[in-house]
Amino acid sequence: MTWHQPLCQACWYRDRPHDEPNPRPLTDRRVETCCKCGEETVSGIYATYNPHAVPYPTDVAPSNQNGET
Ligand SMILES: [Zn+2]
């Protein structure tokens, strides 16, 4: 499972109230399940979470992460 987990805007600000998210461009978003609350989100926000420590982990990395080295 990936540590790169989708997050809805509400959960981002709950966890990181002092940080601004860095969402994907609108053209590169898809419907994801928020790893913290389980709601569907198109926020385009991702954050590093241990997939075994969140209630709704996503196990597929975003497709354009493949080339990352
Ligand atoms: Zn959420």
Instruction: Report pLDDT for 62.
Output: 56
Q: How long, in residues, is the chain?
A: 69
N-terminal to C-terminal alpha carbon distance within the chain: 17
Whether the per-residue pLDDT at 8 is higher than 50: the answer is: yes
CA 58 to ligand 1 center in whole angstroms: 13
Tokens of 22: 């860095």
pTM of the model: 0.81
Contact between 62 and 4 under an 8 Å Cβ cutoff? The reply is yes
CA 69 to ligand 1 center in whole angstroms: 28
Residues near ion ligand 1 (Cβ under 5 Å): 8, 11, 34, 36-37
Supply the mean pLDDT for the chain.
89
φ, ψ (nearest 5 deg) of residue 41: -145, 145
CA 6 to ligand 1 center in whole angstroms: 9
CA 13 to ligand 1 center in whole angstroms: 10
Burial of 5 (0-12, 13-18, 19+ CB in 10 A): buried
Q: Which pLDDT tens digit goes with each residue over 40-69? A: 999 999 999 999 999 999 986 555 554 444
